[in-house]
Amino acid sequence: MSYLKDSVRGVFWIGSFRGITRAMSLLKTILLARLLSPAQFGIFGVVALTMSLLEVFTETGINIVLVQQKGKVHEFIDSAWVVSIFRGFSIAAVMIFFSGPVSIFFNIPESAHLIVLCAIIPILRGFINPSEVNFQKDLLFKEEFLFRTSIFAVDATISIVLALIYRTPDSLVWGLMAGAFCELVLSHILLKPRPKFHFHKKTAAFIVNRGKWLTFSGILDYLIQNGDNIVVGRLLGATPLGLYQMSYQISTLPVTEISNILSKVAFPIFVKISDNKRNLIKAYFKTLGVVVILSGALSLVLFIFTTPLVNLILGDKWLSIIPTLKVLAVFAFTKSIVLSSYSFLLSIERQEAISIIPFVGFVAMFSCIVPLVNMYGMSGAAVSALIGAICSLAAAFYFISKESRNLAVFNPSEE
């Protein structure tokens, strides 16, 4: 089948991109972990939490909505660009205004100037050409591989070089800024159509209306992914926050990458075959099987060999993350299965389900995170994240089962 060929080709190129960038990311993490202290990582963590929160609260779901359109998207590009620019400036203004209160909330005053510096990044991202969506929409996996790898290389190189010179968390911000600027320039040089500053009210309203569930979903995903970081930073301080964020990154990066790769390939393919409901559901379960096998193997290795891996990758000053890392390895496996359901549900335009699934996890996690952190510190935060992921998994299976019945995929009369 053509979608199988597209899947194999997509997995190869996106897998190559993820493999190369994650290898670079691992090298970057190793070097920075040895150059910077856990407390410095915690300071940058506050900055990242602030920017990510504002980005999800203003998420329009532009890329998802454009991929869902089965025809050409030229008529959407101009309005999407204007909306993106406005969003970027809005995020920057709020970051600057709240830089002081955020640093006070976390009791980490060193983070204030970094938040102000980081405000440049959403402005740069706002001007990126929305035609990037055609990489995914038209299954141009090789081209996206070259494009994204170049951007990531700039980010990693700048961060490492500046960290070697200055040994401050500012280097991480400058790396992100360099990557955003590189993406902005390349998107307008290489991609067509190039947007014009034309705003079409009806088109923009359509994009925002179709993306509203994705906005809500993004907010909930943020709270699930970062709520534990917020509580750890607030209750325990900069050093535990840096330790916890490092353990979260090490545990989730290799495992959830499997799900991210397959989901990114699967989503546009699922959209193309969504008229054939039987093939759609079968393709989803095949994808799920691959996610379970690969993610399970990686999580098991991380769980068993936690101590030698931490020693090898990060050094002995990070050994205190080992108990937390074991719990988060199980969390990452569970989360990868949840993420694999999103491409299927989005392909049949069930955006509301993508909001409800993380909401269930959010309620479960926040019902227990504060007492667990107070009792068990970082490990308590990891346990609460795992509880939330398990509840989200139950909700995802509910929706998948419901949609399978609605599509009559397993109805013997259709055989």
What's at 185, amino acid-wise? V
What was the pLDDT predicted at 66?
A: 64
Identity of residue 236: L
- What confidence tier does 381 reach under pLDDT thresholds 50, 70, 90? very high
- Tokens found for residue 54: 């504002």
Residues in Cβ contact with 324 at an 8 Å cutoff, skipping those fewer than 6 apart: 243, 244, 247, 378, 379, 381, 382
Any residues with CB less than 8 A from the CB of 105 and at least 6 apart, and which?
A: 234
pLDDT digits (tens, 9 = 90+) for 168-185: 889 989 999 999 999 999
Quote the tokens at residue 309: 């891996």
pLDDT tens digits along 121-172: 999 999 999 888 777 666 666 777 788 888 888 988 898 899 889 888 899 8
d(CA 207, CA 94): 23
Tally of CA atoms within 13 A in the half-sphere of 405 that contains its CB:
5
DSSP secondary structure letter of residue 265: H
Tens-digit pLDDT profile for residues 331-355: 999 998 998 888 888 777 777 787 7
pLDDT band at 283 (very low <50, low <70, confident <90, very high): confident
- Please answer whether residues 150 and 186 qualify as being in contact, where contact means their C-beta atoms are separated by less than 8 angstroms: yes
pLDDT score for 279:
77
Prediction pTM value: 0.74
Rg (alpha carbons) of the chain, rounded to whole number: 21
Q: How confident is the model at residue 252 (pLDDT cuts 50, 70, 90)?
A: confident
Q: CB-based burial of residue 256 (10 Å sphere; 0-12 exposed, 13-18 middle, 19+ buried)? A: buried
Q: How far apart are the first and last CA of the chain?
A: 19
Dist CA 58 CA 62 (whole Å): 11
pLDDT value of position 288: 85
**Residue 57: predicted pLDDT:** 66
Q: Is the dihedral of CA 390, 392, 397, 402 positive or negative?
A: positive
Q: Is the peptide bond before 195 cis (omega within 30 degrees of 0)?
A: no
**Amino acid in the structure at residue 242:** G
pLDDT tens by residue, 42-73: 898 898 888 888 777 666 556 666 665 555 56
Residues 96-107 have pLDDT tens digits of 999 999 999 999
At CA 305, angle to CA 304 and CA 310, rounded to 5?
135
Nearest to 50 by CA among 108, 11, 8: 108
Mean pLDDT of 397-415: 65
DSSP annotation string for 330-351: HHHHHHHHHHHHHHHHHHTT-H
> Measuring CA to CA, how many Å separate 140 from each of 11, 109, 135, 262, 273?
12, 45, 5, 15, 17
Q: 319 Cβ partners below 8 Å, 6+ apart? A: 307, 310, 311
Tracing tokens 């890329």 back to the chain, one arrives at: 63
Q: Which residues of 233-255 are buried (b: 16+ CB within 10 A; e: fewer)?
A: bebbebbbbbbbbbbbebbbbbb
Query: Which residues lie below 8 Å from residue 84, measured CB to CB, with a gap of 6+?
Result: 60, 62, 125, 126, 127, 128, 130
What CA–CA distance (Å, rounded) separates 46 from 48? Answer: 5
Torsion angle defined by CA atoms of residues 361, 364, 367 and 371, in that order, rounded to the nearest 10 degrees? -100
Q: Give the whole-angstrom CA distance, residue 29 versus residue 155.
A: 13
